[in-house]
């Protein structure tokens, strides 16, 4: 368990609340640009959703295992690379041959290889829609090209926006805006008739992209559906928590500091200007800039009365609170972290398998299971002969935060979810229950406890209504208080919060100002 190396000072240029990837990216960049930086993290491990926790001889990833854009030699996204270059730290990576396998009652789709290879797989499975599939993917390729050609700039900086208008041709900006306001479902329906393929893509989006096909912005969907075929998916050796450790090395190398088990109770504000934070133990630390990586509900409050926000209501405009009230958030998860005998997995099993038994269910009823096996790529994450699995069970009955309470029924509800999940797991990997060596389960309340995040989910959904300018940006109603992370533009996902961190740091100190 990491210890706090240095005592806290009274003042820093920048205080970041939360050591999620967005917060750490902002912190490491500000430190590399010469600012004195303190990160305050309530937990004893860094990374937030992207942490890896040890248990017995296993190391389990809590959240992400598929990273985009980590390796400058693969894929089209350079955001991580920009951060690595600036802080002078680089990850050790392995790459996936296959992104994942999607199993369903009629067969299996392997999300692997080039876009062309994947299109051939789809055409073979849905021959009646051959023309439509090819046209649909041609459109996605075009949208993907547009998106990755855009510079990553803060949308709440007028000068940056002017530069964007100056650098990007008007017709491209208009096309991006058009497809940011149309759903993937709209695009799909222009070309493809198969309801079955629509249901498959819908399930993929619910599982991996935080929105269903009718609400996911087409431009974002294009990025997800195409980038995975450009060799962009990587995995950090040692587990996903290694990215946080790399950012901390960068932070500390440049004189910054991270303090664990330091829960921030409130942002100190006078005359509408943030000037520090108060910790749960009453200590006050001053700063010129305060950055919250704690999510919009924890920062501004309002969804549930149980949330005691970091910012008192008097400092917020009614429009900000109404915006929080209007926001929709993803459900949380029921996850089984399991040590499993390696003999359960037939040779050739992909590191990730998504299984759905009935994809014609409505999105609200969709039941899926996802097996994420980091130790397929990194044997060091499990003892010999075993694998460390994160089994995410998507079941509306067990993933809704509001349905869980720590009452007398909590343990029996957890057991019921486990039994139901394992029954589904048996359909994919027969014998998995007998092969269990170690098990611990996470409910929405576990996620809320460890991530200190209201709702315990991914955050604000990635829907058309909450995309780009309609999402929260970095600047807030309080001067010198900034937001960063999954609830801000561009949204959920490790690469997205990295982009958010880059843009948040830009508001505090620009690279050229060093």
Exactly one of 103, 315, 493, 508 binds ligand FAD (CB under 6 A); that residue is 493
Are 371 and 352 contacting, i.e. CB atoms less than 8 angstroms apart? yes
Single out the residue of 162, 144, 166 nearest to residue 154, CA to CA.
162
Say whether residue 4 binds ligand FAD (CB under 6 A): no
Instruction: Report how many helices (DSSP H) and strands (DSSP E) the chain contains, helices first.
Output: 16, 19
| Nearest-5° Cα angle at 84, 83 to 88 | 120
d(CA 508, CA 510): 7
Residue 174 CB, nearest distance to ligand FAD (Å)?
29
At a CB cut-off of 8 Å and minimum separation 6, what does 92 contact? 236, 237, 238, 242
Q: Does 446 bind ligand FAD (CB under 6 A)?
A: no
289-328 residues near ligand FAD, rule: CB under 6 A: 293-294, 298
| Residue 333 sits in the site that holds ligand FAD (CB under 6 A) | yes
Cis peptide before 490 (omega within 30 of 0): yes
Say which residue the tokens 């050609």 belong to.
Answer: 149
Q: Does 224 bind ligand FAD (CB under 6 A)?
A: no
Near ligand FAD in 12-41, by CB under 6 A: 17-23, 40-41
Nearer to ligand FAD, 62 or 133 (CB): 62
Per CB under 6 A, does 223 bind ligand FAD? no
Per-residue H/E/C for 41-90 = CCCCCCEHHHCEEEECCEEEECCCCCEECCCCCCCCCCHHHHHHHHHCCC
Q: Which of 453, 471, 474, 507 binds ligand FAD (CB under 6 A)?
A: 453
Q: Does 451 bind ligand FAD (CB under 6 A)?
A: yes
The answer to whether residues 406 and 448 touch, using CB atoms and an 8 Å cutoff, is no
Alpha-carbon distance of 346 to 429, in angstroms, equals: 8
What residues from 182 to 201 belong to the interface with ligand FAD (CB under 6 A)? Answer: none
Binding mask of the shown chain, residues 79 to 108, with x at each position contacting ligand FAD by CB under 6 A: ------------------------------
Closest by Cα among 314, 240, 226 to 270:
314
Q: 381 vs 494, which CB is nearer to ligand FAD? A: 494
Nearest to 27 by CA among 295, 259, 312, 262: 259
Q: Is 50 in the site for ligand FAD (CB under 6 A)?
A: yes
What whole-number distance in Å separates Cα of residue 407 and Cα of residue 430?
34
Q: Which is nearer to ligand FAD, 339 or 485 (CB)?
A: 485
Check binding of 263 to ligand FAD (CB under 6 A). yes
Cβ 456 to ligand FAD shortest distance, Å: 8
Q: Which of residues 59-78 bind ligand FAD (CB under 6 A)?
A: 63-66
Size of the site for ligand FAD (CB under 6 A): 36
Output the smallest distance, CB 309 to ligand FAD, in A: 10
Q: Concatenate the DSSP letters of all residues of 87-121 into one string.
A: HT----EEE-SEEEEEEETTEEEEEES-HHHHHHH
Sign, CA dihedral 147-117-188-107, equals: negative
Binding to ligand FAD by residue 228, rule CB under 6 A?
Answer: no
Q: Please, what is the minimum distance in Å from the beta carbon of residue 493 to ligand FAD?
A: 4
Q: Is 220 in the site for ligand FAD (CB under 6 A)?
A: no
Closer to ligand FAD by CB, 200 or 504: give it: 504
Q: Name the site residues for ligand FAD (rule: CB under 6 A).
A: 17-23, 40-43, 48-50, 63-66, 263-264, 293-294, 298, 333, 392, 451-453, 458, 485-486, 492-495, 497
């Amino acid at each position: 368990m990491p210890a706090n190396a240095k005592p806290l000072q009274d003042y820093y240029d920048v205080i970041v609340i939360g050591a999620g990837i967005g917060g750490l990216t902002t912190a490491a960049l500000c430190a590399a640009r010469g600012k004195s930086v303190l990160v305050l993290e309530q937990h004893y491990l860094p990374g937030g959703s992207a942490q890896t926790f040890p248990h017995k001889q296993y190391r389990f990833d809590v959240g992400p295992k598929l990273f985009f854009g980590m390796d400058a030699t693969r894929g089209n996204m350079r955001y991580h690379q920009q951060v690595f270059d600036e802080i002078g730290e680089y990850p050790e990576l392995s790459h996936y041959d296959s992104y994942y396998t999607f199993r369903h009652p009629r067969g299996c789709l392997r999300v692997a290889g080039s876009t062309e290879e994947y299109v051939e797989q789809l055409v073979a499975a849905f021959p009646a829609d051959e023309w439509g599939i090819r046209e649909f993917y041609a459109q996605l390729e075009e949208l993907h090209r547009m998106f990755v050609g855009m510079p990553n700039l803060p949308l709440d900086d007028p000068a940056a926006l002017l530069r964007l208008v100056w650098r990007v041709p008007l017709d491209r900006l208009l096309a991006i805006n058009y497809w940011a306001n149309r759903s993937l479902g709209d695009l799909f329906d222009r070309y493809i008739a198969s309801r079955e393929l629509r249901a498959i893509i819908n399930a993929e989006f619910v599982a991996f992209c935080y929105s269903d096909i009718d609400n996911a912005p087409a431009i974002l969907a294009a990025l997800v559906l195409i980038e995975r075929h450009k060799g962009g998916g990587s995995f950090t050796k040692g587990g996903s928590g290694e990215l946080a450790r790399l950012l901390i090395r960068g932070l500390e190398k440049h004189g910054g500091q991270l303090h664990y088990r330091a829960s921030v109770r409130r942002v100190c504000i006078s005359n509408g200007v943030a000037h520090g934070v108060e910790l749960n133990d009453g200590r006050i630390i001053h700063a010129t800039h305060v950055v919250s990586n704690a999510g919009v509900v924890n920062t501004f409050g309002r969804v549930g009365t149980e949330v005691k926000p970091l910012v008192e209501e008097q400092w917020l405009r009614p429009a900000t609170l109404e915006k929080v009230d209007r926001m929709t958030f993803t459900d949380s998860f029921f996850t089984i972290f399991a040590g499993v005998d390696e003999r359960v997995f037939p040779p050739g099993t992909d590191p990730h398998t998504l299984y759905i038994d009935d994809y014609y269910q409505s999105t609200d009823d969709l039941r899926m299971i996802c097996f994420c096996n980091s130790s397929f790529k990194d044997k060091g994450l499990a003892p010999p002969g075993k694998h460390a699995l994160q089994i995410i069970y998507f079941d509306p009955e067990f993933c809704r935060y509001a349905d869980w309470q720590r009452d007398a029924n909590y343990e029996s509800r957890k057991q019921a979810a486990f039994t139901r999940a394992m029954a589904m797991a048996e359909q994919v990997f027969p014998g998995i229950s007998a092969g269990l060596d170690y098990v611990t389960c996470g409910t929405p309340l576990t996620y809320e406890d460890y991530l200190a995040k209201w709702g315990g989910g991914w955050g604000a959904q990635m829907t058309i209504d909450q995309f780009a300018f309609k999402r929260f940006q970095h600047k807030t109603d309080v001067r010198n208080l900034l937001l960063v992370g999954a609830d801000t533009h561009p949204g959920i996902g490790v690469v997205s919060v990295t982009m958010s961190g880059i843009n948040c740091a830009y508001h505090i100190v620009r690279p050229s100002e060093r």
